[in-house]
Structure formats: C-alpha cells, structure tokens
Amino acid sequence: MTRNGPVALFFHALVVIFMLAPLAIVCLVAFTPENTLSLPTRGFSLRWFEAVFHHPDFVQSFWNSLWLAVLSATLAVALAVPASLAITRYEFPGRGFLNALFLSPLIIPHLVLGVAMLRLFAVVGAAGSFGWLVAAHMVIVTPYVMRLLIAAISGFDRSVEQAAFSLGASEATVFRRVTLPMILPGVTGGWLIAFINSFDELTMSIFITSPSTVTLPVRMYMYATESIDPMMAAVSALIIGITAVAVLLLDRVYGLDRILVGQH
Amino acid sequence: MSASLPDAAPAAPGDETPVRRFPTAPLFLSGPAALLFAALVLTPLFLTALLSFNQFDYATGRTGGFTLEHYLAVVTDEYYLEIFLRTFRISALATAICVVIGVPEAYILSRMSNPWRSIFLLVILAPLLVSVVVRAFGWSMLLGPEGPVNGALIALGIGRMKLLYSEGTVVVALVHVMLPFMVIPVWTSLQKLDPAVEQAALSFGASRATAIVRVVAPQILPGILSGSLIVFGLSASAFAIPGLLGGRRLKMVATVVYDQYLSDLNWPMGAAVAVILLAANLIIMLTYHRMVEGHYRRRLG
C-alpha cells in the first residue's frame, strides 16, 4: 500500500534530477581539459584542480575557512555545552529569554548580522581581525549546536548520574565520566553541523572579512562576479567533496535525517 | 526553530535531584554564551538601528545627527520601491513553486519504503549543506549560453535563449535552494499522520484524490504554512543567488544593502534597509508562531 503510481514516480524523478543537476554539472565541468566552461567531451583532465592548488588566493582562503570553521565550531561547542545544561536543567529568571537569544541567529537574516557586525567592528576598531571573525561565526553556528545538545540532554536518564553521585563521585568526575559520554553524539553531531555551516557561510562573512582573512565562499563569490573559468568549477567540486565527507561522518555519528528534519 | 522551542520549554524530568545547591550555577554555565550573544548580537543590532537614523554626508562620508530620510526614501523613492516590490514578487513566486513541488514530493517520499526512502530523503535534503555559491554557480553553467539547457532548446528547434540575469533564473535557483526547507516541515507533519485514517477514507469509497484533499491535506496544512513562511523569509533576504544570477540590473533587497555598504559607502541608508528587512522577518516568524500555537490549542482544546 506504500506504492507510488507511475505519475508520482515520474514527478519524483524530475525533482531528483532538478536537485542534483547543478551539483552534477559542476563536478563534470571541473574535469574539462578545455580553457572554457564546457563539458569534458574530449577526455578528462585534472589541470584545473592543479590550477587551484597553485592559485595562492584560493589556497590561503581555503586555510582561512578551515581554521575558522574548526575554531568556531570547537569554541561554540565549548560554550554551548554548559549553556544547554543551564537551560535544560535549571529554572531561573531569564531562562526563556536566553533560550530565544541563543536561537535568534536562525531567524535573523545573515545579511543583517553581517552589516550589524561590520558596524560593531568599526566602532571598536576591530575591522578585519580574524579573532572577531571567529566570534562572529560562533554566533551563527551556536544555535545548531544548542538544538542538538538540548535534545541530547533532555533525552537522557538522570538516575545514572545519581548512581555515580551516591557512589561518591565528585561533580567533575560525574560530568567527565557519565554526563559527557552520554551526550557525546549530540556534541560531535553539533560540532560537525557547526563546522559545515561555518565553512559554507557567505552572506555574513562577505561584510566582515578583510583581504587577509577572506574565506573560501567569499573568495569564490568575488571570483565568480569578475571572471568565470573552469577553476571555479574545480574549487566547487572540491567543496562538494569536502561537504560529502562531512555529511557521511555526520550520518554515521548522529543520523542526517535527525539533524535535518529537526532543523526547521 | 519551530521544532525546538516547544521541546525546550518544559524542564527536564528528574528535577527532584539536588542540583539546585548553588542557585548561581545556571549563571556561571550560561554566562559565557550570554556574554558572546550580548556583545555580538544585541549590541551590533542596536548600533545598526541607531545608525539608520543618522544623516549621511556624501561629500565627506561622515555620519551623525538624526534623520528619518532613509526610511522615507524606502517608501517614497521609486528605486527602493521597485526593489522591495521585486523582492516580494520573486520570493512569493519561489514560495508558491516550492509548495507545488515540495508538498507532493514529501508525500511521495513518505509513501516509499526503505531503503529508497532514506536515500531519496538524503538526495533532496543534502544539497542544503553545499555552499550556496557552488549551487548558484551550477545554475549559471546549466543556464548559460553554452549550457545544456540551451543545448536542448537548440536541439528542439526553439533556438538559443538568454536565460541568465533574468527574474526567471533567480526564481529557479531560489526554488532549488529553498525546496528542502519546504520538504522538511511537510515531511515532519506527514510522519505524525496515521496512515490508517487515509485507508479508512479509501475503504469508505472515497477516491484517491478525495482522500488526499479531504483527509491528508488538512492535517499537513501547518507544515505547508511553516515551510512557506521559512521559504519566503529566506528568499526575501537571499544574497548569493541574486548577486550571482541577477546581474547588475536585477537587484534585490540584500544586494542593495551590499551596494550601499560596500560601494556607495552610505551605511545609514543600508542600515535602514537592513532594519526593515529584519523587522519584516521577525513579524513573519512571530505571526507564524502565534498561528501554529493557536492551531494546536484549538485542536487540543
């Protein structure tokens, strides 16, 4: 009874093609031996991948993005673990406000956050600093981490912690040996989704990066508005590859459908 | 957003434990994150709201004083009116197409059996995680003058068409980026649906179409509504798609803010447009929350 008719399956095939076509063409064109954006009809070539690795701007932006994503994801998790413990386990004045504040970057357009942070950095004289860029990325990835952590913390059995307490374990030991291992899927899942979101972020970053801190998506945006050659396709194919690895990891440690379907 | 807020509201079970020995504990625990958000969300938004009321001197680039001229410009200047209207039109069209494609697709997915169901759910949702610049670039190649779409048009005898830098292209690419945001909430509400109810309708002699329209559709309506508002809000503030596929002439709200800030350097004007965009987004989201909560209260009451 869970069968779809032929019309439904045809419709479904069209939707799948629609969703995959832009990604597929990028990956194909990346292997072209030609000088222009074209499908590789006369054999495959890696020359444009090589060009990317010899392009100092793209290489530097790649490392910027990687460090930015690693640092902001790690620091966001470090702040979000205690904050989600406070929100799920304690009743205190301002709890609802804090919860809404921590999730607010999901409903504030990144464009607005970008111009707002540009203004702040201009006022405090921090324009273009990498440290402030990390802090800005922490803000936009924290809500994703918080949601997984709040779900993980509210979903687990407190009696295990109480057993550890009653056997004489200190609070630090209980957190390290009991609480943390139990919420670990939420922590690693949160870290990965934070990493992906930071690594991909364009709209906010374009306002607050300086020539030395330009991230990969910002570099690609700038490059695509000026000139278009197959190098752009090669960078895109690499990004699709990195994202695919992260997605597979995420699926292993947490379950992609759980993250995505719980996302909005 | 909508899914997690209600979840987080009730305190975790097992509150009888003596964790409340230190009433200051939640302060210490949430303090660092709260400081970060106060410094990097509340303060900059406040500064930007103030900035939008500042005067701007084109000759010196200095800002200061108090004026409402930027907000007045948005409602009186034809340039801004046209951009807001265009943004509204494009976002509404993208939302409508997402409903037409996303709702049946979510329904078809929910009627598949595993492993196909998980695989295709991944295929539909995973592009969400690929950078939007990459996806916009993919569309510019598909629809470019030498791209496969034009190739097919030529082969069909229709001839080459100029597809890039048009509203249609922006809408198509927006639909591609936003479709997962429509499928997710509809899928979620379909999961809550008891298939036996649809079965009952069919066994009482209802046609397939009647069963869908009279039984399934009313129950997934909140999901469709939720998806539409998310898609509309995200489309209205989309930056990369109109920036890369709209060209110089086809401006939307986000690309205008970008121009004001980084080309014209008229920050107060850009700030005013950004504040309006934020206000519109918040109004949409809050209206939605109120509507959905009202809906569930009626159903439960």
Confirm if B48 and B277 have CB atoms less than 8 A apart. no
Residue B283: which residues within 8 A CB-CB, separation 6 or more? none
Lowest average pLDDT, out of A15-29, A124-138, B59-73, goes to B59-73
| pLDDT at residue number B235 | 93
Q: What is the CATH number of the domain that holds A155?
A: 1.10.3720.10
Band (A48; pLDDT cuts 50, 70, 90): confident
Is residue B3 assigned to a domain?
A: no
Band (B4; pLDDT cuts 50, 70, 90): very low
Q: What is the CATH number of the domain that holds B64?
A: 1.10.3720.10
Is residue B257 assigned to a domain?
A: yes
A129-139 mean pLDDT = 94
What's the number of domains chain B is made of?
1
Is residue B37 assigned to a domain?
A: no
| pLDDT at residue number A260 | 67
CA-CA distance, A165 to A155, in Å (whole number)? 20
**Residue A168: domain span:** 6-261
Q: Is the pLDDT of residue B102 over 50?
A: yes
Interface test with B, best of A36, A62, A111 (most B CBs within 10 A): A111
| pLDDT at residue number B299 | 57
Contacts with A, B 235-294, CB within 8 Å = 237, 239-240, 243-244, 254, 257-258, 261-262, 267, 270-271, 274-275, 277-278, 281-282, 285
**Residue B68: domain span:** 51-300
Quote the ipTM score.
0.86
What's the number of domains chain A is made of?
1
Lowest average pLDDT, out of A33-37, A69-73, A215-219, B105-109, goes to A33-37
Q: Is the pLDDT of residue B1 over 90?
A: no
| pLDDT at residue number A34 | 79
Q: Is the pLDDT of residue A159 over 70?
A: yes
DSSP B104-146: HHHHHHHTS-TTHHHHHHHHHHGGGGS-HHHHHHHHHHHSSTT
CA-CA distance, B105 to B186, in Å (whole number)? 9
Is residue A24 assigned to a domain?
A: yes
Per residue in B206-246, pLDDT tens?
887 888 888 888 888 888 988 898 899 999 999 999 998 98
The percentage of chain B sitting over the pLDDT mark of 70, rounded to a whole number, equals: 89
Is residue B42 assigned to a domain?
A: no
B256-285 mean pLDDT = 90
Is residue B8 assigned to a domain?
A: no
Q: Is the pLDDT of residue A18 over 80?
A: yes
Sign of the CA dihedral with A37 first, then A39, A40, and A42 last:
negative
Chain B residues whose CB is inside 8 A of the A225 CB are 243-244
Is residue B21 assigned to a domain?
A: no
